[in-house]
């Protein structure tokens, strides 16, 4: 727990100093701690340290931990993994924010899992920043069309964009492109300002390019256990 506290404090200091350096308001940057593959106890420990946002990338693991920690208040659960439309109901039941809406089919399925007139689900449009069309995320050319579709779905609220920097490229130019894609989404939904970008090794570059939501795992949690 004391190591966790130290790493969390270090990362938060680095976020604050990057925000100063790039003239960003630290108050508009949300640090999500990615807890995937770790036991649910880690989330209890993080909550005790004042963490309000956690991220999971697999639906089953998200659903299990959320059920296990049903009594834990004050935590917002972010789903950051590939979303399958046949799991939309479970994702919607367990997540407060879904970062990975990258095709119409998953948007429609998440919408169908909601209650018309009920609370809206915050969603982000995931963009593929790589040249490989097989990777997660919508192709840049299709952003406007998908954003327009999502904007029509009554039980979803489109909040912005999400992306993972390509492994084979310097993250800075990739995040610069993402800022442009954010502008496209905002031309469809004016207040969809969130930019979810930046992980343990590239959150400084993400902050430089306007990230509002950082998804940080190992730099805070330490080495992840093997994929369970």
Ligand X SMILES: *Cc1c(COP(=O)(O)O)cnc(C)c1O
Contact set with ligand X (CB under 6 A):
34, 36, 57, 80, 164, 199-200, 215-219
**Which residue number, 31 or 188, has a Cβ lying nearer to ligand X?**
31
Q: Beta partners for 122? A: 97, 157
**Which residue number, 45 or 188, has a Cβ lying nearer to ligand X?**
45
Residue nearest to ligand X (CB): 217
SS (H, E, C) 30-70: EEEEECCCCCHHHHHHHHHCCCCEEEECCHHHHHHHHHHCC
**Which residue number, 82 or 85, has a Cβ lying nearer to ligand X?**
82
Per the CB < 8 A criterion, the answer to whether 61 and 36 are in contact is: yes
User: In the bound complex, what is the minimum distance in angstroms from residue 155's beta carbon to ligand X?
Assistant: 24
User: In the bound complex, what is the minimum distance in angstroms from residue 208's beta carbon to ligand X?
Assistant: 17
User: In the bound complex, what is the minimum distance in angstroms from residue 152's beta carbon to ligand X?
Assistant: 26
Per the CB < 8 A criterion, the answer to whether 220 and 201 are in contact is: no
User: In the bound complex, what is the minimum distance in angstroms from residue 7's beta carbon to ligand X?
Assistant: 11
Q: What tokens were used for 122?
A: 């915050």
**Which residue number, 161 or 164, has a Cβ lying nearer to ligand X?**
164
**Rounded distance between C-alpha atoms, residue 71 and residue 165, angstroms:** 35
* Closest C-alpha among 137, 119, 118 to residue 127: 137
User: In the bound complex, what is the minimum distance in angstroms from residue 85's beta carbon to ligand X?
Assistant: 19
**Which residue number, 8 or 199, has a Cβ lying nearer to ligand X?**
199
User: In the bound complex, what is the minimum distance in angstroms from residue 38's beta carbon to ligand X?
Assistant: 11
Sequence-distant (≥ 6) Cβ neighbours of residue 191 within 8 angstroms: none
**Which residue number, 210 or 217, has a Cβ lying nearer to ligand X?**
217
Q: What tokens were used for 162?
A: 């999400």
């Amino acid at each position: 727990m004391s190591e966790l506290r130290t790493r969390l404090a270090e990362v938060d200091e680095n976020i604050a100093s990057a925000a100063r350096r790039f003239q960003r308001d630290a108050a508009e940057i949300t640090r999500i701690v990615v807890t995937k593959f770790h036991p649910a106890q880690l989330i209890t420990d993080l909550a005790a340290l004042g963490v309000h946002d956690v991220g999971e990338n697999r639906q089953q693991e998200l659903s299990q931990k959320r059920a296990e920690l049903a009594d834990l208040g004050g935590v917002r659960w972010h789903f950051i993994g590939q979303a399958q439309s046949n799991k939309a109901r479970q994702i919607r039941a367990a997540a407060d924010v879904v970062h990975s809406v990258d095709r119409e089919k998953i948007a429609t399925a998440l919408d169908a899992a909601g209650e018309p007139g009920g609370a809206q689900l915050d969603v982000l449009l995931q963009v593929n920043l790589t040249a490989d069309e097989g990777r997660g995320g919508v192709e840049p050319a299709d952003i406007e069309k998908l954003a327009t579709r999502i904007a029509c779905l009554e039980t979803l609220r489109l909040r912005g964009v999400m992306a993972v920097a390509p492994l084979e490229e310097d993250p800075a130019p990739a995040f610069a492109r993402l800022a442009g894609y954010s502008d496209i989404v905002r031309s469809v939904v004016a207040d969809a300002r969130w930019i979810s970008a930046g992980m343990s090794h590239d959150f400084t570059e993400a902050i430089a390019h306007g990230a509002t939501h950082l998804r940080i795992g190992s730099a805070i949690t330490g080495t992840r256990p093997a994929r369970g």
